[in-house]
Amino acid sequence: MRALTVTTIAFRSIRRNPLRSILTMLGIVIGVGAVIAMLGVGKGAKDAIRSQIAALGTNVVMVMPGAFTSSGARVEAGTTSRLTLEDIRAIQSSCPAVAHVSPIARSGAQLKYSNQNWRTSVYGAYPGYFDIRDWRVAEGSAFTDVEERASAKVCVIGATVALNLCGEQSAVGAVIRIRNLPFKVIGVLAEKGQNATGQDQDDIVIAPFSTVQKKLTGSIFVNSIITSAISSTSIDDARSQINEAMVAQRKGVGGDGVDYTIRTQTELASTAESTAKTMSMLLASIAAVSLLVGGIGIMNIMLVSVAERTREIGIRMAVGAQGFDILTQFLIESIVLSVLGGIAGIVFGVSTALGIGILQHWPVAVSISSIALGFGFSFVIGVFFGWYPARRASRLNPIVALRYE
Amino acid sequence: MILPIIELAGLHKEYGIQPSSVVALRDVSLSIEKGEFVAIMGASGSGKSTLMNILGCLDVPTKGTYRLLGEEVGILNRDELAKIRNIRIGFVFQSFNLLARTSALENVELPLLYNSSVSPKSARQRALSALSMVDLSDRSHHSPQELSGGQQQRVAIARAIVNDPILILADEPTGNLDSAKSEEIMAIFQDLNNRGITIVLVTHEEDIALCCKRKIMFRDGHLVNDAMIPHQRVCSPAKEIS
């Protein structure tokens, strides 16, 4: 029996019951749609997370106060910071895998300039901070070790701060007041946008660490330490060297064990990616369930179709159709049904993925391979769930089938 | 010596499993030569339908042999039987058994669909010429529900002859038709028989049987009478008013 003729017969029988065929396809439509949307959104989210993690800086290793897993209980981070400049010096002197080190002192502060007010976070850091975070200064320049040593009242401000204090005017050279202390703006940072948690990374003021420590926080402790490894392959080395330096430092002063946590950029990335993975898994399970249900629906309808057309099968067998001819006819019908559902599912999935992308401002990446996968899935389901009904049709006894009313 | 078309020897058919089985045919032996036109008669339950099923290779005997053109049929599997039905035998049924919502032309083409040696193009040609033989060329695109009973049976005959069979098996072909249309159908059968096609036909009506050349009677699964019909009644192909 010729493929074209069989396909024509299949289409004709599907057209004969349009509503039934559409309802049968629905499971496949949703299943394939979920597969495509899952892959599109998952890929997009992964790309987005990658770029956000990259925005954190290059090869970053952070030291945060507080042991996150002290006796199995999480100690509140940041409440009792015991990181000091001694730790910075220890890292600087004994960690060859570390390229840059900077303490961070953070303080919320009210800013004033002319008649504008703005509340933001003021970060105190070493000049190396800009290298660690891979943060360019768009206008003006960053401060240097000279300003750091002199505790100069200069600062570099983020784009959001610049916009809110100075509007469209250039902020460089302006003298702003931070908690009523005058600071000269010497640079404006390049825009970074939002981070992974939606925080505006441009809403920041960075000043020399010594200045912030003396004038704003007044504490001998630092909030955290940020360092960068010399290369992406030496992140783990940097981590262990920092740990050794910190432990040695604590022994020297008679401290009591580990009161800090070291986090690397790769660890942060994998945490964030696991969130995206959870989302993908959810969509994958929706896809799996609806493909299964859709397949069972196709099997059900094919069994009904075989029963309805028993007499037709008998006629075909009487005029010489062999078991294989009948098997092919019904198998192709189920494949056509499933693949039509698959095509509708591809359209549905692509538009869902694009819709999510537009609504959530997510970079969605629908790939050709995911479309091919959706198509393949629907084909396989057509074969798998159409097999039993088709086989049953092909094994009918022609005499019984001819007499069937 | 020319081989008989049909040769039955000691044919036995039982349905069900012993001891509760039903015997439909008992020790039937029969030979039908090329060009014969045989009417099979008998009350219902006499075994004629079972015989037709076996002759049509839709069923196989429990005991005994059936040779079609010298070939033993009882030992063939389902697909081999299907192949024989396809190229050697044409079926005509009482209830026409055409595919609904399918044009007359496509119905006639159906057996050729399962004959891989016929190309789609020549299938169409052969279907058209078969339709013209039953005088239905102008109805080729009508579906069965748009045709009268007589026309439907003519489409079924066209379907039966499209693969150039050596044997046509007709199971009460006139059972659902009035006498004028029956006459017309029998005229077509006589025409086909004159062209050399062997025909075996089951009927209840004596005057239909008289249009054949030989009459075989069945009773309770036994062949009870087998005689030539002395004067075959020639049917006139009266034009059907449609």
The DSSP-derived string for A259-326 is: -EEEEEHHHHHHHHHHHHHHHHHHHHHHHHHHHHHHHHHHHHHHHHHHHHTHHHHHHHHHTT--HHHH
Distance CA A35, CA A33 (A): 5
Q: Which token pair is A401? A: 């089938």
User: For chain B, what is the mean pLDDT?
Assistant: 91
More reliable by pLDDT, B216 or A235: B216
CB atoms near residue B30 (< 10 Å): 18
Q: At what angle do helices B149-161 and B120-133 cross, to 10 degrees?
A: 130
Q: Is B10 on the interface with A (CB under 8 A)?
A: no
Tens-binned pLDDT, residue by residue, of chain A (405 aa): 567 888 888 888 888 889 999 999 998 999 899 888 888 887 877 777 777 777 777 788 888 887 555 444 555 544 566 788 888 888 888 888 888 999 999 888 899 998 888 999 999 999 999 988 888 898 899 999 999 999 999 999 999 999 888 888 888 988 999 988 999 999 999 988 776 666 788 899 999 999 999 888 888 888 889 999 888 888 888 888 998 888 888 776 655 567 788 888 877 777 777 777 787 788 788 888 888 998 999 999 999 999 999 999 999 999 999 999 999 999 999 999 999 999 999 999 999 988 888 887 777 788 888 899 989 999 999 999 999 999 999 999 999 999 887
Smallest Cβ–Cβ distance between A399 and the set B58, B79, B159 belongs to B58
- The confidence score (pLDDT) of residue B240 equals 47
Residues of A with CB under 8 A from a CB of B: 1-2, 5, 16, 311-312, 314-325, 398-399, 402
Nearest chain B alpha carbon to A314: B97
- The confidence score (pLDDT) of residue B90 equals 94
- Percent of chain B clearing pLDDT 90 (strictly above): 76
Q: Is the pLDDT of residue B186 over 80?
A: yes
Q: What is the mean pLDDT of residues B70-82?
A: 91
Q: Do B111 and A319 count as a contact with CB atoms less than 8 A apart?
A: yes
**Residue A74 vs residues A66, A255, A260, B4, B50: alpha-carbon distances, Å:** 9, 20, 12, 98, 86
Distance CA B42, CA A148 (A): 119
User: In B33-114, which ranges are E strands?
Assistant: 37-42, 63-68, 71-72, 89-92
- The confidence score (pLDDT) of residue B241 equals 47
Contacts (Cβ under 8 Å, ≥6 apart) of B237: B184, B187, B188, B191
- The confidence score (pLDDT) of residue A359 equals 86
- What's the count of helices (H) and strands (E) in chain A, helices before strands? 13, 12
- The confidence score (pLDDT) of residue A73 equals 52
Q: What is the mean pLDDT of residues B145-172?
A: 94
Contacts B93 to A, Cβ<8 Å:
402
List b or e across B202-214, with b for residues whose CB sees 16 or more CB atoms inside 10 angstroms.
bbeeeebbbbbbb
Best of B52, B110, B162, B167 to disrupt the A interface by mutation (most A CBs within 10 Å)?
A: B110
Nearest chain B alpha carbon to A324: B79
- The confidence score (pLDDT) of residue A5 equals 81
- The confidence score (pLDDT) of residue B239 equals 54
pLDDT per position as a tens digit, B102-144: 999 999 999 998 988 888 889 999 999 999 999 999 999 999 9
Distance CA B53, CA B222 (A): 16
8 A C-beta contact, residue A32 and residue A378:
yes
Distance CA B216, CA B8 (A): 14
Distance CA A152, CA A148 (A): 7
Distance CA A326, CA A392 (A): 10
Smallest Cβ–Cβ distance between A318 and the set B58, B113, B163 belongs to B58
8 A C-beta contact, residue A385 and residue A303:
no
Single-letter residue type at B232: Q
- The confidence score (pLDDT) of residue A127 equals 92
Distance CA A59, CA A291 (A): 42
Q: Do B99 and A312 count as a contact with CB atoms less than 8 A apart?
A: yes
Q: Is B58 on the interface with A (CB under 8 A)?
A: yes
- CA A46 to chain centroid, in Å, comes to 4
Nearest chain B alpha carbon to A323: B79
Distance CA A31, CA A37 (A): 10
Looking at this predicted complex, what is its ipTM? Answer: 0.93
Closest CA to B67 of B58, B52, B54, B80: B54
**Residue B27 vs residues B10, B21, B46: alpha-carbon distances, Å:** 4, 16, 13
